[in-house]
């Protein structure tokens, strides 16, 4: 499973459409990231903000590169 898919499904617990809406992108874009196995640089600031909204002070940018243990 690709890192974007692990992050979307296990960290944020969202469908592709929910994730796309939260990041103000399209569902096909999310599908493409998951197939490529990486996020485009332009989405990282939005992803960081989404993480801070969901997890608050517990959020760690490192999760964008290495998902939390048990998420795979």
Residue 36 forms part of a structural domain: yes
Residue 46 forms part of a structural domain: yes
Which residue range(s) make up the domain with 33? 3-58
Residue 66 forms part of a structural domain: no
Closest by Cα among 48, 49, 47 to 33? 47
Distance, CA of 29 to CA of 14 (rounded, Å): 15
Residue 49 forms part of a structural domain: yes
Residue 28 forms part of a structural domain: yes
pLDDT tens string 20-71? 999 999 999 999 999 999 999 899 899 989 988 888 878 887 877 776 566 5
Residue 53 forms part of a structural domain: yes
pLDDT score recorded for residue 62: 81
Instruction: Find out whether 44 and 30 touch, Cβ atoms under 8 Å.
Output: no
Distance, CA of 53 to CA of 36 (rounded, Å): 26
* Domain count within the chain: 1
Residue 15 forms part of a structural domain: yes
pLDDT score recorded for residue 40: 93
């Amino acid at each position: 499973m690709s890192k974007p898919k692990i992050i979307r499904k296990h960290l944020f617990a969202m469908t592709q459409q929910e994730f796309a809406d939260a990041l103000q992108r399209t569902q096909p874009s999310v599908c493409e990231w998951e197939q490529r196995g990486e996020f485009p640089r332009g989405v990282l600031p939005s992803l960081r903000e989404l993480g801070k909204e969901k997890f608050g002070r517990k959020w760690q940018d490192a999760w964008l590169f290495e998902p939390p243990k048990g998420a795979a």
